Structure 1
Amino acid sequence: MVPVRDELFARLERFYDAIPRDGAHTEAFGGLVLFVRDGAGWPFYARPRLDATEPASAADVADVRRRQRELGLPEAFEWVHENNPELLAVARSAGLSVLEAPLMVLDPTALPSVTELSDVPVRLLDPAAPTFGADLAARRAVAAVGFAAPGTAVGGAGPAARDTALVELPLDALAEEQCRTESGHRISALAELPGQGAVASGMAMRVDDAAEIAGIATLPSARRRGLGAAITAALARRLLADGVDLVFLSAGSTEIARVYLRVGFRRVGTACIAEPA
């Protein structure tokens, strides 16, 4: 069952604060903390400080954005609305566009098997396999194509678009992914069709006994086959088997949230993601 609400939101806040810390240093700006990545990789965000004594102000947001521009970083902010409800109005008054994403937590008793959701096999990536680098590049390429066409509608972009989006990972980024996968802090998954290769992908990030599933994407040409749900279920089952007792995700829209309802996820709140309009 979903944890008690107050405990749940405290755990979510600790997770969001912890997940960037092994790859970034922090800079404090009033009620906000900016995570600045050390080395190559996807840039991080700013979010409310765990130890803040006052809510984040418009001045704090402006200071963070100025610093993000200085560093060449996206002006990105993330927070859980239930933990910091005042930040929504502050962000909008600063000219930021805010995505209010359904925040959903898994009820393990409602988790179906992967085969109940799709007849397409799902494979978890093995960091020791000689194909790990290519598999990881495929996961990222599927995500790039899938997120370029948001929603669940079937479209024309398929394996050819994925292959065009393929980018070989730098050796340091590949080594980081292997290390995190071997340690159980990262799990990646692919769904593959004969003759087409990877058509859906996703990942999970773990801190202690909590984990977030993210990056679930399906090539538009392969949609409406239950692949996103199957990827999500496969990741969730692995996490539960590894001892995780809090599995959660943020859906990009209420339409996409309906996919996760089929997998046993239940909405508990709202994850806010802000960036310039």
Structure 2
Amino acid sequence: MDADHADLLDRLEQFYDAVPRDAARVEDHGSCVLFVREGAGWPFYARPRRGATRSPSLADLNTVRSRQRELGLPEALEWVHEINPELLTVARSAGLSVLEAPLLVLDPAALADPAAFTHVPVRLLTAATPTTAANVAARRAVAAIGFAAPGTSRGEAGPAQRDAALRGLDVAALDEELTRIANGSRLAALAETPDEGTLASGMAMRVGDVAEIAGVATLPSARRRGLAAAVTATLAHALLAEGVEVVFLSAGSEEIARVYLRAGFRRIGTACIAEPPTITPH
């Protein structure tokens, strides 16, 4: 690994460590750190502790997982493989299932024009634009439906399922997202038409000059129309315009990563997400 690559990965590691801290308390468990969310919202996870002198051991994983169970939290552990390569074997030896997600960073010179992918307009939600709870709810409802049907294949779920999902959203989580958009630490994008409403969405979290694009999702009925690539490119253009130097994301699969490669991203590593295996009932 050359020095520039190592420096880039270190900047991402600083981001991963910083982004949960304004909404969570932090517990150290050996070479792991556990972020425990304070208040409403999706629960956080454990990560290798930044600055630790060794990679997390099996004992560290067992300790932090026990604490997560005690707190009623998901037993989730995240890390970058290139920074903690030994952890993949340790996590699997602990019986965890590990998603190896392509980790990609934007090449600003290769960033595509969103209009190259679709004629559907993409609207930004930022501190400088009027943003309502209904806008945030639309983003989250599309994400809920989209992530319930992973991949890029078309499916049946569409606007009707999105609208039904609106009724089950956490009001406190909507308020938190509105607050973060208003203070500039988050922005979102919606691809929408007058007739169909919001069809795809995504958001970005920013800490200083580094930002992560996340939650990019398309309603299954609207897939294969270039919407995810357009949402991603729109967010990336906005982040660069705001002075962000490093824009990155992780993809759920190699298939999904190809969407981001077309938008101007390149692969730099692997983001690992470990959880207990899902037991499918017979």
Would the TM-score normalized by the shorter structure come out above 0.5?
A: yes
Question: Who is 1:117 aligned against?
Answer: 117
Q: Which amino acid aligns with 2:106?
A: L
Question: Who is 1:228 aligned against?
Answer: 228
**Deviation of 1:178 (Å):** 2.4
Question: Who is 1:215 aligned against?
Answer: 215
Give secondary structure in 2 for the equivalent of 1:262. Answer: helix
**Deviation of 1:128 (Å):** 7.7
Question: Who is 1:195 aligned against?
Answer: 195
Question: Who is 2:67 aligned against?
Answer: 67
Relative to the length of structure 2, the TM-score reads 0.94
Q: Taking structure 1 as reference, are residues 10 and 17 closer, same or farther at Cα in structure 2, changes over 3 Å only? A: same
Question: Who is 2:258 aligned against?
Answer: 258
Q: What is the CA–CA distance in structure 2 between the aligned matches of 1:194 and 1:256, rounded to whole Å?
A: 27
Relative to the length of structure 1, the TM-score reads 0.96
Question: Who is 2:53 aligned against?
Answer: 53
Contact 1:192–1:200 (CA under 8 A) maintained in structure 2: yes
String of CA shifts for 1:233-269, please: whole Å, max 9, x gaps.
Answer: 0000000000001000001000001110110000000
Q: Taking structure 1 as reference, are residues 77 and 244 closer, same or farther at Cα in structure 2, changes over 3 Å only? A: same
2:153 is aligned with 1:153:
yes
Q: What is the CA–CA distance in structure 2 between the aligned matches of 1:131 and 1:15, rounded to whole Å?
A: 26
Q: Which amino acid aligns with 1:209?
A: D
Overall identity of the aligned pairs, in %: 68
Question: Who is 1:102 aligned against?
Answer: 102
Q: Which shifted more, 3-12 or 169-178?
A: 169-178
Q: What is the CA–CA distance in structure 1 between the aligned matches of 2:121 and 2:129, rounded to whole Å?
A: 18
**Deviation of 1:53 (Å):** 1.5
**Deviation of 1:149 (Å):** 0.7
Give secondary structure in 2 for the equivalent of 1:4. Answer: helix
Contact 1:141–1:167 (CA under 8 A) maintained in structure 2: no
Name the count of aligned residue pairs. 275
**Deviation of 1:153 (Å):** 0.6
Question: Who is 2:280 aligned against?
Answer: none
Give secondary structure in 1 for the equivalent of 2:26. Answer: strand
Contact 2:200–2:227 (CA under 8 A) maintained in structure 1: yes
Q: Taking structure 1 as reference, are residues 169 and 155 closer, same or farther at Cα in structure 2, changes over 3 Å only? A: closer
2:52 is aligned with 1:43:
no
Q: What is the CA–CA distance in structure 2 between the aligned matches of 1:245 and 1:181, rounded to whole Å?
A: 19
Structure 2, unmatched stretches of 5+, are 278-282
The RMSD of aligned alpha carbons is: 1.5
Q: Which amino acid aligns with 2:166?
A: L
